[in-house]
Structure 1
Amino acid sequence: MNNSLGKHRFLLTLGLVFSIFILSSFRKHEFHSSLAEIHYNPATKSLEVSLRVFSDDLETALSKENKRTLKVEDNATIDPFIKQYLSRHFVLTDTKNARKSINWVGKEITVDVTWLYFEVPVTEEPNGLKINNTLLFESFDDQVNIVNVIYKSQKKTYLFKSDQTTQTIEL
């Protein structure tokens, strides 16, 4: 009888630990950030951008902006909403303050992160271009956006917060 009681307690404990582990994995993350990496491609005269955001944060912002529930997994319908959101909240301008267009490449979804890929055609090298990055600021007060610009083996990091939304690329 003691042996079966011990097995029963072990299984209950194991079940409890497993349940806590599962439930904690669904908990929202405690910080809000995005990370972008921009590479200048001289052959195509474009900036190639890889942008990582938490999927649930992106869904929150897209749903809020479009007044309907949107999910990043909805491959057939979500891409135009993402492109529209990016064109409003991740803006590059040249030295004459002309806004650059975004050419959508696609996205990659992992467990809790979505990678967004797009290109920005430019006529000049990135030095002097301005980045206005207000991604997710309308949804999260503590949002921080990091942009790494890589050009001719140099890397410069720019930090964007609600009180610092525009920065000039200086390499």
Structure 2
Amino acid sequence: MKKSIFILSLGILLISFFSFKDFDFFSSMTKVDYIDGSKTLKFTTKLNTNHISQAVKIDPSTAGFEAEVKKYVNNNVDVAINGAAKTLTFTGSQVNGESVWVYYEVGNVSDISSLKIKNSILIGQFPKQVNIMNITYKGTLKTLNFQKGKESSEVTF
């Protein structure tokens, strides 16, 4: 009896393993923090290295990678604060194995009552892409999700 249960369990485990072998997970995570002292909204985005390199069509180990990532982020992220469009300032990126960290910010932010964001990063290349954004403003945390068909979202504070 124990042998039959073991074989059955092993069979279920193997079937489960092989049914997920082609499964690829497409996501990014962005942390947004309001820095009261400098009146800055700072963005830190974590992307999969292979996915972003496919999107910008350049190897992450080459010198031009950061410039391409900057253009890509500027074309795929828009921010409006209290109804006014804001300019993103790209502050850098860092390749760390399977992840690329991208840093950008919006300056001269005195008060936020509404924040509208478009985040279409990697959605055009990977239709199942999900972009998650955690926004912290004066002690309040809000989470936004972006995906194909829902590339823009708005929160109020």
Could you tell me how far apart the structure 2 residues matched to 1:121 and 1:138 are?
28
Q: How does 1:41-120 map to 2 (within 5 A)?
A: 41-63=35-57, 70-74=58-62, 76-96=63-83, 98-120=84-106
User: What amino acid does structure 2 have at the position aligned with 1:52?
Assistant: K
Alpha-carbon distance in 1 for matches of 2:140, 2:122: 28
Alignment partners' CA distance in 1, 2:52 and 2:22 = 13
Q: Aligned pairs, how many?
A: 137
| Runs of 4+ residues over 3 Å off in structure 1 | none
**Structure with more helix by fraction:** 1
Residues 101-134 of structure 1: per-residue CA shift (max 9 Å, x gap): 1212212222201111111124343330210000
5+ residue gaps, structure 2: 1-20
Preserved contact between residue 39 and residue 110 of structure 2 (Cα < 8 Å): yes
Pairing of 1:1-171 with structure 2 (within 5 A): 30-63=24-57, 70-74=58-62, 76-96=63-83, 98-171=84-157
Question: How many angstroms apart in 2 are the aligned matches of 1:109 and 1:143?
Answer: 20
Pick closer, same or farther for the CA change 1:156–1:41 going to 2, 3 Å.
Answer: same
Separation in 1, partners of 2:115, 2:134: 14
* Rg larger for: 1
Give the drift of 1:144: 0.3
In structure 1, the residue matched to 2:14 is none
Distance 1:77 1:161 in 2: 28
Output the CA distance in 1 between the equivalents of 2:86 and 2:45: 17
CA distance in 2, matches of 1:166, 1:49: 16
- Any stretches of 5+ residues in structure 1 without a counterpart? 1-26, 64-69
Amino-acid identity (%): 24
The CA distance in 1 between the partners of 2:22 and 2:59, in whole Å, is 16
State the Cα distance separating 1:28 from its structure 2 match.
8.4
Give the strand-richer structure, 1 or 2.
Answer: 2
TM-score by length of 2: 0.79
Structure 1 length-normalised TM: 0.73
